[in-house]
Chain A
Amino acid sequence: MNQDVFIVGTGQTPFGEHWDKSLKDLMGEAVTSAIDNSDLTALDIDFIIVSNMLGERTNDQAHLGAMASALLPHRPPALRTEAACASGSVAVHTAISLLESGRAENVLVIGVEKMTDVSSEEISLSLMGAADAEKDIPTGLTFPGIFGLITNRYMHEYGLTREKLNKVSAKHHANAAKNPNAQFRNAIPEEKISQSPSIADPLCLLDCSPISDGASAVILSSTNESPIKIKASQVSTDTLSIAERPSITSFPATRDAMDRALDEAEITRDDIAHLETHDCFSIAAVINLEDLGFAAPGRGIRLYESDSKPSVNASGGLKACGHPVGATGIKQIVDLIKQLKSSNEKYALAHNFGGAGATCCIHILENVS
């Protein structure tokens, strides 16, 4: 980091089905709560970045930068970022670059997605834009399908059982029961996970993050201090199609971003107290812990078998909080700040990826209070 960057305000809407709210309504709600949460006024914001993946497909709405800017009285400059499910963290990464360059001093980062306005068939095709449109889509593959392929292979290589995999979603649901903004606040017994309808064998409905509406926002500042500082922000990429990779049971982009983030923050894995990882499907949560270096290959499930440091997806993760694609990466940061403040620990890490790990963005937060 070439510049101290503080997170001075956070806000979000509850995630879920908001049939009565538009993209603009959701953004407005998140922005208002973020500004209320900070010591700043709306007029202090000098740049806006909006993260969104599917506006054109779900609401025929592009040009979200200008739409967001119109929410503030002085219409600051604004732009939009898109990196599939990693759009949110990439927006934060972009905001940090603006602060580091001196182009802006207080940047408002908004993530928004409105997925329930179209049919689930349409959404599943739209989300395939995160994979390789010419290689993967013509086979009739879906994202649950891609992760079904990954799960089957992972089970084959490492002997993970279906019963053990149930622990992932069960834990996320249990954690979300305490999160007022989560889409699903009900604990689910382990055995019910694999009894839910099959989606892409061996993945069942309760292994998959849901289709959600929601928005989240953070305000980053280089001039106003706060107890939460960003220590590292790293982006790494990989091929869009999993068929072009040597192995499908690990995501090299996560490994690479993690190495660089730890270097940038000058800390070790052991310093991290809270972790929010990108559990778009239960198997991803397991692989993430291995790629982030908290478990050896094939052993990621062990962190779901006991409560150890670091805490993993205490918010409920994507599975139980909901996954409004563009809002997720920012919401992870909002949740980690709450966790750092309540535990008074020093470091937390947000891991957000797009597609099947084709873009991975990692942020490390430091509690300086």
Chain B
Amino acid sequence: MPDTPSTIHRAQKNIRKKMQEGTVISFTTIVHPPKGFGKEPRTVGIIELDDGMKTIGQLTSSKVSIGQRVTPRMRLMRVNEQGLRTYDVCFEPMEGELVQEKEFTGYIIALTGPSGVGKTTISKILTTKVGDYAAKVPILTTREPSDQDEDEYEYIDPKKFEILKKQGRLASCSRIPSSTQSRWYGYRKSDIEAIWEEHKVPVVITEMGLLQDLVRTYSRRSILSFGLLPPGKSKRLMLSCLLHRLRTRGRDTDASIDERMKNAERDLDFFEQKKHLFDDLIVNDDLDSVVGLLKGRIMAEVRT
């Protein structure tokens, strides 16, 4: 067993990421644990944590079922030959908290990326090119319409948005920080489900909040998640490329560009921190090849 201080040190770095509640995907009781884990049977589960990351961990009880909610607990896992005590996160099944298993209803293509990276353009070309197989999901927003907007938004009164949210009719919603007004964005469940009924793949444009919420609603498995990065070898170069694009497209005021750039920096960090939320990170340096790649993925899903 890799039980040296250095391997244990590396493992400890990931403990904080696992300190969250989750849902049991599957579990098993191992009657003969391997060397170093004692003689008692161990119950081990594969857990989908609430941020969408999956992990394998010991369960504190063998009385558990698939779909049950679990909560993290720090436990002594083992003592190595030199007497080094190793602690790790275990998961404790929560009483009566059997969540309705999220049934796999179909795939959703999610495009995530900072402002100006080309999400709207890509989704527009994509849904035109493979319109028989994919459709864009309208974005609900509480913000004021602006002249520069194209037909991507459906404007909604903040109160109505709040009601939809409370009734659980939103697949995902998120507030995007802005100094001027409180802006909520979201997707209706009914819009996504209507596209599935036509046997098409819904395409959504997300940002970090919307993506995480979408994962919570439909499970990580349903989301074909693509992160779009601007070209550039470093974060600084990527940001300057975005700034250039935002200025040339002329849709935003200087103040709005400033705000978008601040959010963009956060978005780029998000790709690093939440790698597990993405199936692929794509650099948008050539529109045709990005669209071609996404088209391939859609066609592969439609065929199966």
Q: Which of A194-202, A222-230, A329-337 contacts B (4 or more CB under 8 A)?
A: A194-202
- Interface residue count on the B side (C-beta < 8 Å): 36
B34 and A156 within 8 A (CB): no
In the complex, residue of chain B having the shortest beta-carbon distance to the beta carbon of A244? B54
User: Is A124 interfacial (CB 8 A cutoff)?
Assistant: yes
B44 at the interface (CB under 8 A from A): yes
Q: Are B56 and A200 in contact (CB under 8 A)?
A: no
Option from A120, A124, A201, A241 in Cβ contact (under 8 Å) with B56: A241
A-B contacts, 28 of them at CB < 8 A, read A125-B1, A125-B34, A134-B2, A135-B55, A136-B56, A137-B2, A137-B34, A138-B1, A138-B11, A138-B77, A138-B86, A140-B37, A140-B77, A141-B30, A142-B32, A145-B30, A148-B28, A149-B27, A149-B45, A149-B56, A150-B26, A156-B26, A198-B29, A199-B32, A201-B28, A242-B46, A243-B46, A248-B46
B243 at the interface (CB under 8 A from A): no
Known contacts A142-B33, A145-B28, A243-B55; 5 additional CB pairs below 8 A are A124-B32, A134-B10, A134-B11, A137-B34, A152-B27
Residues of chain B within 8 A (CB-CB) of A37 are: none
Within 8 A of A (CB), among B44-65: 44-46, 54-58
Q: Is the CB of A122 within 8 A of B30?
A: no
Distance in angstroms between the alpha carbons of A2 and B34 in the assembled complex: 45
Q: A134-B10, A138-B11 are in contact. Are A125 and B35 (CB under 8 A)?
A: yes
Whole-angstrom distance between the alpha carbons of A336 and B227 in the complex? 45
Query: Within the assembled complex, what's the spacing in Å between the Cα atoms of A149 and B150?
Result: 48
B26 touches A140 (CB 8 A): no
A128 in contact (CB, < 8 A): yes
Give every chain B residue within 8 A of A246 (Cβ-Cβ): 220-221, 279
Q: In the complex the two chains form, is B88's CB within 8 Å of A138's CB?
A: yes
Does residue B82 face the partner (Cβ distance < 8 Å to A)? no
| B176 CB–A CB distance under 8 Å | no
User: Which residues of chain B are within 8 angstroms of A203 by Cβ–Cβ distance?
Assistant: 28
Within 8 A of A (CB), among B13-49: 25-37, 42, 44-46
B66 contacts partner chain A, Cβ-Cβ < 8 Å: yes
Complex alpha-carbon distance, A243 and B49, angstroms? 11
- Residues in B whose Cβ lies below 8 Å from that of A119: 35
Most buried by A among B27, B34, B276: B34
A138, A153, A241 — most chain B CB neighbours (10 Å)? A138
Residue B181, interface by CB 8 Å: no
CB distance from B107 to the nearest CB of A (A): 10
Q: In the complex, which residues of chain B have a beta carbon less than 8 angstroms from the beta carbon of A163?
A: none
**B54 lies within 8 A of A142 (CB):** no
What sequence of 0s and 1s flags, for each residue 276-311 of chain A, a beta carbon within 8 Å of any chain B beta carbon? 000000000000000000000000000000000000
* B180 interface hit (Cβ, 8 Å): no
Chain A residues with a Cβ under 8 A of chain B: 119-122, 124-125, 128, 133-142, 144-145, 148-153, 156, 197-203, 241-244, 246-248
Report if A140-B30 is in contact (Cβ < 8 Å); known contacts: A125-B1, A133-B2, A134-B7: yes
CB distance from B243 to the nearest CB of A (A): 35
| Residue numbers in B under 8 Å from A198 (CB-CB) | 29, 31
> Known interface pairs A137-B1, A139-B44, A140-B42. Does A124 touch B29 (Cβ–Cβ under 8 Å)?
no
A131 nearest CB neighbor, chain B only:
B56
A137 neighbours in B (Cβ, 8 Å): 1-2, 34
User: Is the beta-carbon distance between A142 and B34 smaller than 8 angstroms?
Assistant: yes
- Nearest-Cβ distance from residue B192 to partner chain A, whole angstroms: 18
Q: Which residue of B lies closest to A249 (CB)?
A: B26
> In the complex, are the beta carbons of A145 and B44 less than 8 A apart?
yes
> Do A139 and B35 touch across chains, with their CB atoms under 8 A apart?
no
B34 closest partner in A (C-beta): A125
- Chain A, residue nearest B30 (CB): A145
Q: A138-B77, A246-B220 are in contact. Are A200 and B31 (CB under 8 A)?
A: yes
Does the CB pair B58–A139 fall under 8 Å? yes
Across the interface, which residues of A come within 8 angstroms of B44, CB to CB?
139-141, 145, 149
Closest residue on chain B to residue A133 by CB atoms: B2
A342–B32 alpha-carbon span in the complex (Å) = 42
Contacts of A121 in B (CB 8 A): 32, 34-35
> In the complex, what residue of chain A is closest to B39 when comparing beta carbons?
A121
